[in-house]
């Protein structure tokens, strides 16, 4: 696997905005099981039948940065995405982290996958207050570490700009559906103050989803994608950011049956507070901070960042998976904490390290499954129904 490094550049645009934005990034280069040889197009269908009976999800952190962890289906692989077109981070505090990639989780053959693209900040020179920058900042050039690009609606950005980059070999593309969405419309003003600390004006968020069918390497795929753009014009004229770009794909005839798996993965991503704390400590060593309580500021930033991450994950799940009506709360048998999960299987177990197993087999016992490690699993009852799964 060849991973391209991203080039460094001047970093002068944001203050704490750049730090908080980093919570949407994740890096991982891990393999959860051996990859068998590709024996034909029926492999993903066979894997789907197996996962319908028993689905094993392994919690894995990012291998290098360890910013996030996620539940990854057993046998899947994770790859870093260091696409140079996503540029560098827009803040000096992020200088040592300017090679943070996005990541892709996929089956061994790359047919079924969920992909998060790296975050990117753009600059629309038409909005600049520094004279007519259009004369020397053509589209695609860089300005203070940002990619120069005219701001466009989220749907156009998702379908016409991001999709061709993610799938350059796609043929016969057909957009089945697209719509503008409002990911934070269910949050109150008070929720927004706590959960979206870096966004003073929620109306400046533009988001869209799209469902696309296309051919790649002789296989017809269906893909559901979402992009969330944030406009910083009121703070920094011309600056806008793609806060999140998420792609889910599977063979066209199997996509609907893979959605419960995508749902579990997407909802499982957790922010590593220790990683963010170290990042903030490194930042505050580079600036004059005599006038603030650094320790309290760091903990408050972590609290706000976790709230924002959780609010965004919930909002994205609502937009992409609400039709599944699959969310239910379980009680973890080890921690006794309440955690979200799927109701698409009859039974659920969790391990001390955070692995999760779902099954529809009444006689299945993960503690006797020789494929698994010696980790001890406990059943997780449904909240307010402790008799469930017993």
Kindly state whether residues 126 and 262 are assigned to the same domain.
yes
On average, the pLDDT of the chain sits at: 77
Is the confidence at residue 25, as pLDDT, over 60? no
Kindly state whether residues 217 and 334 are assigned to the same domain.
no
Q: Which residues have C-beta within 8 Å of that of residue 127, sequence separation ≥ 6?
A: 151, 233, 237, 238
Q: What band does 101 get if pLDDT is binned at 50, 70 and 90?
A: low
The pLDDT of residue 33 is 39
The pLDDT of residue 232 is 84
Structural domain includes residue 223:
yes
Q: Which of 324, 341, 370 is the last residue of a domain?
A: 324
Structural domain includes residue 337:
yes
The pLDDT of residue 65 is 61
Structural domain includes residue 384:
no
Which one is predicted more confidently, 331 or 275?
331
Is the confidence at residue 54, as pLDDT, over 80? yes
Kindly state whether residues 200 and 343 are assigned to the same domain.
no
For 119-133, 236-250, 327-341, which range has the lowest pLDDT when averaged over its residues? Answer: 119-133
Which one is predicted more confidently, 157 or 182?
157
Kindly state whether residues 222 and 319 are assigned to the same domain.
yes
Q: What band does 93 get if pLDDT is binned at 50, 70 and 90?
A: very low
- β-sheet bridge partners, residue 121: 241
Kindly state whether residues 307 and 293 are assigned to the same domain.
yes
Kindly state whether residues 124 and 205 are assigned to the same domain.
yes
Its pTM stands at 0.79
- Looking at residue 157, what DSSP letter applies? I
Q: Quick one: which of 56, 101, 138 has its CA closest to 375?
A: 56
Structural domain includes residue 2:
no
Is the confidence at residue 2, as pLDDT, over 70? no
* 175 token code pair: 């957009």
Structural domain includes residue 5:
no
How many domains is the chain built from? Answer: 2
State whether residue 349 is helix, strand or coil: strand
Task: Quote the domain boundaries for residue 235.
Answer: 16-324
């Amino acid at each position: 696997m060849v991973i391209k490094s991203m080039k460094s550049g001047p970093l002068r645009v944001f203050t704490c905005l750049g730090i908080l934005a980093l919570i949407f990034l994740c890096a991982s280069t891990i393999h959860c099981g051996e990859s068998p040889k590709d024996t034909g197009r029926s492999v993903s269908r066979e894997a789907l039948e197996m996962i319908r009976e028993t689905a094993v999800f392994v919690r894995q952190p990012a291998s290098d940065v360890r910013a996030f962890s996620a539940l990854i289906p057993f046998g899947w692989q994770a790859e870093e995405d260091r696409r140079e077109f996503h540029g560098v981070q827009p803040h000096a505090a992020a200088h040592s982290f300017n090679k943070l990639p996005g990541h892709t989780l996929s089956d061994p053959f790359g047919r079924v996958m969920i992909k998060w693209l790296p975050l990117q900040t753009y600059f629309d020179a038409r909005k600049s207050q520094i004279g007519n920058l259009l004369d020397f900042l053509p589209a695609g050039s860089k300005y203070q570490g940002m990619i120069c690009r005219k701001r466009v609606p989220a749907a156009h950005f998702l379908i016409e700009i991001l999709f061709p980059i993610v799938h350059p070999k796609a043929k016969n593309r057909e957009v089945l559906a697209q719509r503008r969405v409002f990911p934070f419309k269910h949050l109150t003003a008070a929720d927004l103050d706590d959960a979206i600390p870096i966004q003073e004006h929620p109306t400046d968020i533009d988001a869209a989803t799209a469902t696309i069918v296309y051919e790649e390497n002789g296989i017809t795929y269906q893909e559901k994608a979402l992009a969330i753009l944030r406009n910083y014009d009121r703070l920094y004229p011309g600056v806008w950011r793609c806060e999140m770009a998420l792609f889910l794909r599977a063979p066209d005839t199997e996509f609907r049956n893979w959605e419960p798996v995508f749902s579990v993965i997407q909802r499982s991503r957790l922010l590593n507070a220790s990683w963010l704390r170290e990042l903030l400590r490194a930042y505050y060593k580079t600036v004059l901070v005599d006038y603030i309580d650094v320790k309290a500021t760091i903990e408050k930033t972590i609290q706000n960042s976790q709230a924002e991450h959780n609010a965004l994950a919930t909002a994205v799940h609502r937009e992409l998976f609400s039709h599944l009506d699959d969310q239910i709360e379980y009680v973890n048998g080890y921690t006794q904490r309440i955690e979200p999960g799927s109701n698409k299987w009859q039974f659920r177990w969790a391990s001390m390290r955070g692995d999760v197993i779902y099954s529809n087999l009444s006689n299945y016992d993960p503690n006797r499954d020789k494929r698994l490690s010696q980790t001890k699993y406990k059943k997780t009852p449904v909240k307010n129904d402790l008799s469930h799964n017993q």
